[in-house]
Structure 1
Amino acid sequence: MLKDSFFYTYFRSLRVVDKQVSLVDNDLLKFVKLEELVLSANQIKEIDTTNLPPTLKVLELYGNKMTSMECLCTCPPPRLQHLGLGHNKLLGPLESLYVTSDYWPNLISLDLSFNDLTDLQGMVSGLRTLRRLRLLVLQGNPLALVPCYRGFIIDGLSGLCVLDDITVAPSEKHLFRGLSHSGDLLAHEARLVVTVGHVRGVLDSSVLDPEPGPQGPFITYRYYVTYEFVEDEEGEGDEYGRVLAEIVKPPPSTEQLGEVIPKEPIKEAEDSVGPGLASQSQSGELEESGASAPLPRPTDSAEELAKLRPRLDPRLWPSPGTVLFSTVRKPWSDVIPCNYEMQHVLKDLVRLKAFLLSGTTVTIVEEKILSWPAVPPSPNSPSAAKKGKGEKDKKGKEKDKEEKDKKGKDGKDKAGKGEKEPAKEQKGSKKKKELRKDLRQDPPVLRVLGSGPVDLEPLLSGEPFMSTVCNFGVVRTLETDRLTLYRDSKKNKSEKAKNAALEARKSKTKLPAASVYESDYRPDPLTVEIQIQLIQGHSTEEALRRLVP
């Protein structure tokens, strides 16, 4: 039978992981030869170091609830070589006072990753006293988001061999030489650049709309991408407010627009797609009216804006603590180039870290605007009277023409009379177009085509750049793509496209490309390209160059 004395003197390593431990008592001192103690993923808030064996060389407290290192400095193990405090809640500038050689004279490795440490200069000043320190992990802290982070530490800790699991190269020591002496001049703020690339696979909703009549409505579609980003309370709140207002503020109810010419009818294409198109159009309208609503009018206070929030699609409203940014509205095309780039400068690094952990949301939005004639023509208006008089004169001339035909006038006179009629018709159509010069717009109707989260945690884990393609699935259909193909073929000026469209109209059959669509139809999914870069300094010269306005 084993005795207790043998049991306590035998073990050199003790691991108690994820066991809801919250207290370390003096029974731990019975392990007289204990060198490694792992108490990760527990509920520990403080540790009485007088209860730790003095023989400890490794102490790991990852994933607990510690808010300060002060409790560890009461009577720290003198032989400790590795201290792991990652994924805790260490916060405040005073933490740099507890990482000095006064408490950890033999420390070789220190892991303080994924806490809320913000004082880079103070931390380097304390760590500089640890002469034996060779491995350091600080990634995941707000202080690691500033551009000069890596260079400042490498130059300040000359004996460091590995920083954030990346070996310190001799070239880095050369490039960042002297940077630690300019700490007071460096800006302690993070810079991130968001780029929105191409949008693909968007459904062309305009092919499902009926042709507008003389009195409208004339429908236009625009597409844009929105994303959430953290609001910096210390920095540019006013500028962000203007961006938000741009999204939730509707355009004026009346706006002067240029001349609008209705699209040509696509009757032949409708015949080729069959009855399935009508149900598709109806379902699209229902989806639009159910998923979105007209935007509210501009408000003078945040409280009034908050009251209107239920009227908006939740996906069109930013999460608490974030601001909604959007690209420029673009018309439909098979590939919509957003060409959007925005640099975000943030001083509140703790809020930025929390935002990167939670991620952002990217949304593709369709904006539909109905335009109407500003002043509908009245039957008693002068233009209408002139029109009636013109029709009366036209009928009189036609009657005279018939009488002249009966009297046996020659064909030349008939031809001369016939050439003037189309000119008058063109003149009349021109007058109709002039009536549509001034249009009023309804508030835009927004419809979310696709929305989804984007993981930003790699930027906290040391990755300076992340790129992804958000895939929201297929929203296009065979019928709508064939209508779009037919419309584009009519706009194409090449003789080949004209002949193909002419043959399709004569035969009243499906388009030549329809067989290709049906046999091998693979529409592109709705996607958008997103890139986010965390700006990092690559040399002392580059870091100091940013100081010059």
Structure 2
Amino acid sequence: MSSKTLTAAIEKKIRSLCLTDFPCGNGPWRRTKNGPDEAETEPPDVLLDLLRYPSSPWMYNETWSPQASELRELAVKEPKRLSKNFILSYLKTIRITGKNVSCIDKGLLKFSKLEELVLSGNLISEIPAKHLPSTLKILELQANRLTSVSGLASSPPPQLKYLGLGSNSLGSHQDICDLTGRHWPHLACLDLSNCNFQEQQFLIAALETLPCLKTLSLKGNPFTMAPSYPGFTVDSLPELACLDASWLTTEDRYNFFGLARMNELVVDVASVTLSLTRLRGIPDPLMHVDKKVVEFPIVTYKYFISYQFFSHPAADYQGEDGEFKLDTSSHVTEDNSVCPDPGSDRNSGKNDADPDAAVPDAAVPDAADPAVTADVTEQLLLYTTPKLSCIECVDLNYTLTYSISCLGALKKFFIQGLRLDLMEEKTLSWLPPSEEPQQVRASPGKGKKGKNEKNEKKVKTPPKPMNKRRRGPPELIHDPPIRKLLNSVHIPLQSLVHGGQRVKTVCNFGPLHVEPPPKQEEETEKKTKGDKKKDKEAKQKQSKDATPQKSPKGKKKDAKKRDMDEHTILSVPVPPVPVTVELSVELEKWKSAPDAFRVVTDAENS
């Protein structure tokens, strides 16, 4: 694939101005001062109206350069001035966005008065500083394919005041070294949002050397999820006026004063608290079963929620059994095959035999890279909430706090989103097998055959010894639990990457349809003829006893109307109640310097 140069894209925009076509240019449609007053010619004022009138077909609406409309008007007023060099030197602002430009060629130097160059959304991977005009003051390179700033920092435009490098693959140590005041003495606004910078102290130390920096954008970088951001940045850059599109106030300065000197507290480790509360809407699958009749096997159902998240050294939550609820046990699926938990390897693709893995995954953003997803999944573990029976509403009180040092992987996980799985665990319980009585046979004697047969008939099994103590209920034998994925919910967490501190939502798993057990048709078929005859006689007797008494016609109508109303009321279907759970994912942020000191001290003491 051949590279598309920037100069070729700009020349295409200039040709679209049609500076030599009607109503521009010096064509036969133009009426001169000393020329004849012909019907097919127009004066310059009328031609200018055709360019300016909003409903005119010659109105130019593209905004790639503010000087584009000015050049078209000059082509009407003074067409002889519009030479190629004049056009190139006249343009001061050029915006070429989303045009697949991959190369900044030296032809850009012909634009000798260029001050603003916007190249967002292209395919540029390298910025040769020698191809940039020295008059450039604004350079926007957002959402390109930059992996290094070294080419631009070698000899940047001396008057550059704004540099936009957001949404690029930047974040190495060399990139930080290239963002110092030695390279950018007049830089006042810097955009590094949505990059991959992970070391906050190292980056802020480099930005402190920029003498004119007033506006800074850092949101979307991994280190911004640490508790020390933005307090450490605000206190370290006292001349900064705007951070992440928010103006800094005197109160902000006062709250974070002194945090820049607490270098030992500033650690690039994110603290994420995940909470699940108020689970409701799980129906009883045994509601149609007669619980008075004890039949085996006894079926018990348990429900819980599972999800994947990062491992952490210590858990704040302990389950009912006093152990951390990390589920790594095996289970039996509905086809009676033993395999690991469905949530443990579903995303990583290691469990090919799991039938639950055939369930389609929850919606994930289309921009998610499969390689990135696999890289994040390798660092995740499976967690489960306590197992509960059928409930209408219960407070789970499930809270875990995670300490995550790999901030780059945490950013990718938040962009991918969190998946909650509603699981059902069914267990079958049986009676233990009864011991068969052993028959004692008589030893064969020397007598006659008939006599031996009589002796064998007289031998009886010895009576069972009577237990002195009364036996309790027998201990049941439990089959391995059968787990089933009922439904999944995907929760987007991108806001935590872009400056948000908390995501709180109600996850809706939808209603669970419980099918009633089939009617026992076999029992009705087994009825004897005598039972059927008795039922028939009982019905006849009831019909004789319930002879209707005469009543006025009005009462009959009222009774019929009442019966119809009751029938209509009972026939209205009740909508199923969805299964919901309240979820909260929160990033810890220090609100002040004393708050940071207190939080760190409490963590050390605990």
Pairwise same-fold verdict (TM > 0.5): yes
The unaligned stretches of length 5 or more in structure 2 are: 1-19, 21-81, 318-322, 362-375, 439-460, 518-565
Give distance in 2, aligned partners of 1:211 and 1:531.
Answer: 38
Structure 2 counterpart of 1:469, from 506, 509, 521? 506
Q: Structure 1 residue 111 and structure 2 residue 156: aligned? A: no
Question: How far 1:389 sits from its partner (Å)?
Answer: 12
Question: How far 1:367 sits from its partner (Å)?
Answer: 0.9
Structure 2 counterpart of 1:289, from 334, 349, 358? 334
Q: Which letter does structure 1 place at the counterpart of 2:598? A: R
Question: How far 1:539 sits from its partner (Å)?
Answer: 0.9
Preserved contact between residue 304 and residue 386 of structure 2 (Cα < 8 Å) = yes
Structure 1 counterpart of 2:413, from 317, 341, 355? 355
Give distance in 1, aligned partners of 2:394 and 2:338.
Answer: 24
**Equivalent runs, 1:77-96 vs 2, <5 Å:** 77-96=157-176
Give distance in 1, aligned partners of 2:482 and 2:311.
Answer: 27
Give distance in 2, aligned partners of 1:141 and 1:387.
Answer: 82
Q: Structure 1 residue 26 and structure 2 residue 106: aligned? A: yes
Question: How far 1:188 sits from its partner (Å)?
Answer: 2.0
Give distance in 2, aligned partners of 1:517 and 1:200.
Answer: 26
**Equivalent runs, 1:358-377 vs 2, <5 Å:** 358-373=416-431, 375-377=432-434
Question: How far 1:457 sits from its partner (Å)?
Answer: 0.5
Secondary structure of the corresponding residue to residue 190 of structure 2: strand
Q: Which residue of structure 2 aligns with residue 174 of structure 1?
A: 254
Alpha-carbon spacing, 1:306–1:463, altered in 2? closer, same or farther (3 Å): closer
Question: How far 1:377 sits from its partner (Å)?
Answer: 2.9
Give distance in 2, aligned partners of 1:386 and 1:55.
Answer: 113
Q: Structure 1 residue 380 and structure 2 residue 437: aligned? A: yes
Give distance in 1, aligned partners of 2:340 and 2:112.
Answer: 73
Question: How far 1:516 sits from its partner (Å)?
Answer: 6.0
Preserved contact between residue 311 and residue 402 of structure 2 (Cα < 8 Å) = no
Q: Which residue of structure 1 aligns with residue 300 of structure 2?
A: 220
| 1:190-225 residue CA offsets vs partner (Å, 9 max, x unmatched) | 000001122233232223557597672111111111
Question: How far 1:357 sits from its partner (Å)?
Answer: 1.1
Q: Which residue of structure 2 aligns with residue 59 of structure 1?
A: 139
Preserved contact between residue 165 and residue 191 of structure 2 (Cα < 8 Å) = yes
Q: Which letter does structure 2 place at the counterpart of 1:89? A: S
Q: Which letter does structure 2 place at the counterpart of 1:69? A: V
Structure 2 counterpart of 1:246, from 313, 327, 346? 327
Structure 2 counterpart of 1:313, from 356, 376, 393? 356
Secondary structure of the corresponding residue to residue 253 of structure 2: helix
**Equivalent runs, 1:4-153 vs 2, <5 Å:** 4-153=84-233
Give distance in 1, aligned partners of 2:297 and 2:516.
Answer: 24
| 1:515-545 residue CA offsets vs partner (Å, 9 max, x unmatched) | 8674261222222221100110111112122
Q: Which residue of structure 1 aligns with residue 266 of structure 2?
A: 186
Preserved contact between residue 88 and residue 111 of structure 2 (Cα < 8 Å) = yes
Structure 1 counterpart of 2:594, from 529, 536, 541? 541
Give distance in 2, aligned partners of 1:440 and 1:212.
Answer: 21
Question: How far 1:244 sits from its partner (Å)?
Answer: 8.5
Q: Structure 1 residue 447 and structure 2 residue 492: aligned? A: no
Question: How far 1:355 sits from its partner (Å)?
Answer: 0.9
Give distance in 1, aligned partners of 2:575 and 2:136.
Answer: 63
Q: Which has the higher contact order (CA 8 A, sep 6+)?
A: 1
Structure 2 counterpart of 1:530, from 565, 573, 583? 583
Question: How far 1:102 sits from its partner (Å)?
Answer: 1.1
Alpha-carbon spacing, 1:99–1:20, altered in 2? closer, same or farther (3 Å): same
Question: How far 1:321 sits from its partner (Å)?
Answer: 3.5
Identical counterparts, % of pairs:
30
Q: Which letter does structure 2 place at the counterpart of 1:456? A: L
Q: Structure 1 residue 340 and structure 2 residue 398: aligned? A: yes
Q: Which residue of structure 2 aligns with residue 521 of structure 1?
A: 574
Give distance in 1, aligned partners of 2:406 and 2:302.
Answer: 35
Give distance in 2, aligned partners of 1:165 and 1:448.
Answer: 44
Question: How well do the aligned residues superpose, as a CA RMSD in angstroms?
Answer: 3.6
Q: Which residue of structure 1 aligns with residue 524 of structure 2?
A: none
How high is the TM-score relative to the length of structure 1?
A: 0.70
The unaligned stretches of length 5 or more in structure 1 are: 252-287, 391-429, 481-512
Q: Which residue of structure 1 aligns with residue 450 of structure 2?
A: none
Alpha-carbon spacing, 1:136–1:308, altered in 2? closer, same or farther (3 Å): closer
Alpha-carbon spacing, 1:386–1:538, altered in 2? closer, same or farther (3 Å): farther
Q: Which letter does structure 2 place at the counterpart of 1:193? A: T
How high is the TM-score relative to the length of structure 2?
A: 0.64
Preserved contact between residue 194 and residue 221 of structure 2 (Cα < 8 Å) = yes
Q: Which residue of structure 2 aligns with residue 158 of structure 1?
A: 238
Alpha-carbon spacing, 1:38–1:156, altered in 2? closer, same or farther (3 Å): same
Alpha-carbon spacing, 1:75–1:466, altered in 2? closer, same or farther (3 Å): same
Greater share of residues in helix: 1
Number of residue-to-residue matches in the alignment: 425
Give distance in 2, aligned partners of 1:19 and 1:443.
Answer: 60
Question: How far 1:319 sits from its partner (Å)?
Answer: 4.3
Preserved contact between residue 294 and residue 446 of structure 1 (Cα < 8 Å) = no
Secondary structure of the corresponding residue to residue 224 of structure 2: helix
Q: Which residue of structure 1 aligns with residue 385 of structure 2?
A: 327
Secondary structure of the corresponding residue to residue 226 of structure 1: strand
Secondary structure of the corresponding residue to residue 302 of structure 2: strand
Secondary structure of the corresponding residue to residue 33 of structure 1: coil
Q: Which residue of structure 2 aligns with residue 200 of structure 1?
A: 280
Q: Structure 1 residue 460 and structure 2 residue 500: aligned? A: no
Q: Structure 1 residue 3 and structure 2 residue 83: aligned? A: yes
Question: How far 1:74 sits from its partner (Å)?
Answer: 0.9
Alpha-carbon spacing, 1:148–1:78, altered in 2? closer, same or farther (3 Å): same
| 1:336-387 residue CA offsets vs partner (Å, 9 max, x unmatched) | 33221110100111111111111121111111111122x2334639xxx999
Q: Which residue of structure 1 aligns with residue 541 of structure 2?
A: none
Q: Which residue of structure 1 aligns with residue 561 of structure 2?
A: none
| 1:489-535 residue CA offsets vs partner (Å, 9 max, x unmatched) | xxxxxxxxxxxxxxxxxxxxxxxx99867426122222222110011
Give distance in 2, aligned partners of 1:449 and 1:99.
Answer: 52
Give distance in 2, aligned partners of 1:451 and 1:376.
Answer: 40
| 1:100-124 residue CA offsets vs partner (Å, 9 max, x unmatched) | 2111111111110111101111111
Question: How far 1:18 sits from its partner (Å)?
Answer: 1.5
Give distance in 1, aligned partners of 2:462 and 2:429.
Answer: 26
Alpha-carbon spacing, 1:149–1:295, altered in 2? closer, same or farther (3 Å): farther
Preserved contact between residue 414 and residue 497 of structure 2 (Cα < 8 Å) = yes
Give distance in 1, aligned partners of 2:597 and 2:339.
Answer: 47
